[in-house]
Structure 1
Amino acid sequence: MERQIATVFGLGNLRPAPGTWASAAAILLGVALHRIGHFPLLALATVVVTIIGFWAIRRLFAGLDNKDPSEFVIDEVAGQWLALCFPSAGFWLMGLSSDRFPYPGWLAAFIFFRLFDIWKPWKVGHADRRGDADGIMLDDLWAGMFAGVATMIAAGAAHGLFM
């Protein structure tokens, strides 16, 4: 079961770039969660997938030769949903209907998440270099945090400049 969770039921086996495939799938599912239950449901799902991800990765890590297998993509789902929580929360706090989640918000969260996940600046790279089970999850959670903040900064700049 741990391997199924870590690979998001085989999604991590897609090639090339399994992390990007997982992030794209996470965006689709995250937008659906937002539309069904708005920010509270997406936030709850993010917490659940993060806890389950830590559990699965820790269980699998001990027997691994490769300390960050590319097929483990539950960390991308957790990080991408964390990034998506930022615009989702913005819409929720503004009282906008859950059926509205225009593409700039989720597209920016996707692009910024992939950028920070690949570039690995500061805390992202520090977590990635830990070389332990928690580092696998933490680097993507930091990337998700940075992506969420960058998404909100971009939204603020766009709305301040164009409205």
Structure 2
Amino acid sequence: MRGEMKYLLARCIATGFGIGYFPYGPGTMGALALTVGYWFAPEIEWIWFVVLLIMGTVVGVVSSSLTERFIQISSGDQTHSDPQIIVIDEIVGMLFALLALPKTATFVAAAFVLFRFFDIVKPFPVNKFEKLPSGWGIMLDDIAAGILANVILHVARMIVAVV
């Protein structure tokens, strides 16, 4: 029974409390849910945002590893990796995309679009991270996509400030 509860909790977290079961674009829906939640959430100090990123990453790696392993065992397909129902990676990746950006409609929307673009297209170096094993590969490619989106938006912000 204890193992079943651990798996159930991991699956709830990994699927974004069910968002991963959305029939069309579950990853996009996970990122969108985070974006909407972020928009309506009160401002927090940057240090707490970083703590949230670290906790989200650790919990994401563990929950996605457990969920992926259970799916592999139950399906009999040991090669099945990064199942679509796992969306904690998109949720945490989107948080990285929003780090230290102004909370304006323009920046939040641009972060969402860029993050989803890099997560789907997986340019270098994002594509290198998905080759890592289990939850590390599931999480780190999306985190890399979020960081890439974030860096581009910060650079654009600096360029606009200079011009």
TM class, shorter-length: 0.7 to 0.9
Whether the 8 Å contact between 2:62 and 2:135 is mirrored in structure 1 is no
Pair 1:142 & 2:144 matched: yes
Q: Does 1:54 align with 2:61?
A: yes
Output the CA distance in 1 between the equivalents of 2:132 and 2:57. Answer: 18
Question: Under a length normalisation based on structure 2, what TM-score does the superposition of the two structures give?
Answer: 0.82
Aligned residue in 2 for 1:20: 28
- CA deviation string 1:41-84 (max 9, x = no partner): 33222221111101111222333232111110000011100110
1:67 aligns with 2:74: no
* Equivalences for residues 76-95 of structure 1 within 5 A: 76-87=90-101, 91=102
Q: CA deviation at 1:86?
A: 3.4
Matched, 1:6 2:29: no
- The one-letter code matched in structure 2 to 1:75 is D
Q: Is 2:15–2:21's contact at 8 Å kept on the other side of the alignment? A: yes
> 2:160 corresponds to which letter in structure 1?
A
- The separation in 2 between residues aligned to 1:125 and 1:9, in whole angstroms, is 27
Work out the number of aligned pairs and report it: 148
Q: Whole-Å Cα distance in 1 between the matches of residues 113 and 159 of structure 2?
A: 17
Please name the residue that 1:159 is paired with. Answer: 161
Q: 1:80 to 1:21 in 2, by over 3 A?
A: same
Are positions 1:42 and 2:49 aligned together?
yes
Q: Using the alignment, how far apart are the partners of 2:114 and 2:162 within structure 1?
A: 20
In structure 2, runs of 5+ residues without a counterpart are 1-8
CA shift, 1:131, in A, is: 5.2
TM-score, length basis structure 1: 0.82
Paired residue for 1:31? 39
CA offset at residue 132 of structure 1? 2.9
Alpha-carbon deviation of 1:38?
Answer: 3.9
Residue 86 of structure 1: SS of its match in structure 2?
A: coil
Say what the alpha-carbon RMSD is for the aligned residues: 1.7
Q: Which runs of 5+ in 1 are unaligned?
A: 92-100
The range that moved more, 77-86 or 23-32, is: 23-32
Partner AA of 1:84 in structure 2: L
CA contact (8 A) 1:113 1:147 kept: yes
Provide the C-alpha distance between the structure 2 equivalents of 1:77 and 1:146, rounded to a whole number of angstroms. 15
CA distance in 2, matches of 1:38, 1:32: 16
Conserved 8 A contact 1:30-1:42: no
